[in-house]
């Protein structure tokens, strides 16, 4: 199935310098925000208490927030969890209070305004030490993923392709983190999982493009490296758009119908798909052109005549 019926001939690489400057400015802005503002880490990383409650009737989150604020818990995050009857309350660490008793106080305060019983589904506490370990392990997971990709692509293609793919992935991760830093959306484990998914999605798109670039280099006898890369990008454009649009359709459904609990997760995926599609064309391909890849670099190594015996066998 193809999204574009006619063969396209867009000159993508004619705008590669503009794209490089644009991406560089976004990266600098993202790094600047990460340094000055940082990320708004959720309870998964900072520690705190999560309380899941179930009401028999429909409940208004604003009423719960107001009640908690009146009792001194204005920093609580209140969200629907699964349905309009289920509520998830997230509280940061309160050093002056016992976390085991904290949940009882909150439930008692909320129960005072309801005749029907409130069902406490679960209470979980994440200590600050666990949060620090999750932050460290999450960062290491991204570094290990990038390092493994660098090794794989080096064997699969050529070292310049490996550098191009890693540059594109670093670009995608920094811009996504920068967006969360600027917007101060909560960064929790689901967002970290989304970023790892973005790395896999972007790499898959980049590998498809690189494979067609290598194939085109070996097939086309004439033409500059820029012309060959343009031809390969046009050949894969229909597939790239079809994959991106169908994935965006699913993720948009998650964002619209998934509820507040996975809003940050779906936003990270939406942003990552858009950035990943862009980086496969303008960052990964741009990088290998900048490093001077040519047809000679992709030709298979020929055997020396000295290694061939008289009977035609190879030593």
User: How many domains are there within the chain?
Assistant: 2
* Least confidently predicted of 73-77, 118-122, 129-133, 302-306: 302-306
Beta carbons within 10 angstroms of residue 255's beta carbon: 18
What was the pLDDT predicted at 300?
57
DSSP three-state, residue 272: helix
- Which region among 75-79, 170-174, 210-214 has the lowest average model confidence (pLDDT)? 75-79
Give the end of a domain, one of 94, 126, 158.
126
The C-alpha angle with vertex 241 and arms to 238 and 242, in degrees rounded to 5, equals 80
- Tell me which residue range forms the domain holding 68: 48-126
Residues 97, 225, single domain; the answer is: no
Q: What is the CATH number of the domain that holds 243?
A: 1.20.1640.10
Q: Report CA dihedral (42, 64, 103, 117) to the nearest 10 degrees.
A: -140
Q: How confident is the model at residue 204 (pLDDT cuts 50, 70, 90)?
A: confident
What is each CA distance from 226 to 207, 215, 223, in whole angstroms?
Answer: 18, 14, 8
| 308 domain residue, yes or no | no
Residue 2 forms part of a structural domain? no
Q: Mean pLDDT over residues 34-43, rounded?
A: 85
Is 134 found in the same domain as 67? no
H helices then E strands: how many in the chain? 11, 6
Query: Considering the domain boundaries, does residue 94 fall inside one?
Result: yes
Q: What is the mean pLDDT of residues 51-80?
A: 79
- Tell me which DSSP letter residue 92 carries: E
Q: Would you give the DSSP letter of residue 283?
A: I
Mean model confidence pLDDT for the chain: 79
Helix, strand, coil shares, percent, the chain, to 5: 65, 10, 25
Residue 69 has pLDDT above 90, yes or no: no
Residues 194 and 255 in one domain: yes
The tens digit of pLDDT for each residue in 268-287 reads 999 999 998 898 888 988 88
* pTM metric for this prediction: 0.77
Q: What is the DSSP letter of 222?
A: S
């Amino acid at each position: 199935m193809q999204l574009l019926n006619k063969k396209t001939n867009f000159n993508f690489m004619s705008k590669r310098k503009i794209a490089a400057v644009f991406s560089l400015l976004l990266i600098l802005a993202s790094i600047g925000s990460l340094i000055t503002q940082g990320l708004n880490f959720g309870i998964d990383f900072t520690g705190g208490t999560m309380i899941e409650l179930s009401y028999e009737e429909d409940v208004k989150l604003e009423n719960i927030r107001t009640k908690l604020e009146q009792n001194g818990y204005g920093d609580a995050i209140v969200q629907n969890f699964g349905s309009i009857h289920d509520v998830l309350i997230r509280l940061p660490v309160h050093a002056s209070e016992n976390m085991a008793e904290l949940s009882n106080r909150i439930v008692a305060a909320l129960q005072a305004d309801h005749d029907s019983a409130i069902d406490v589904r679960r209470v979980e506490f994440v200590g600050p030490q666990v949060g620090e370990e999750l932050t460290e392990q999450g960062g290491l997971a991204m570094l290990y993923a990038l390092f493994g990709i660098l090794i794989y692509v080096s064997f699969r293609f050529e070292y310049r392709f490996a550098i191009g793919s890693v540059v594109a992935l670093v670009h995608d991760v920094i811009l996504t983190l920068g967006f969360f830093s600027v917007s101060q959306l909560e960064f929790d484990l689901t967002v970290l999982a989304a970023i790892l998914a973005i790395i896999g999605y972007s790499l898959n798109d980049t590998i498809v493009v690189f494979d067609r670039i290598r194939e085109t280099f070996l097939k086309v006898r004439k033409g500059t490296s820029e012309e060959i890369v343009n031809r390969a990008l046009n050949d894969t454009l229909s597939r790239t758009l079809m994959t991106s649009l169908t994935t965006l359709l699913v993720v948009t459904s998650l964002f619209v119908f998934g509820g507040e609990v996975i809003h940050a997760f779906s936003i990270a995926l939406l942003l990552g798909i858009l950035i990943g599609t862009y980086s496969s064309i303008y960052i990964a391909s741009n990088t290998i052109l900048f490093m001077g890849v040519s047809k000679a670099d992709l030709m298979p190594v020929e055997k020396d005549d000295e290694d061939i015996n008289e009977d035609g066998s190879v030593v």
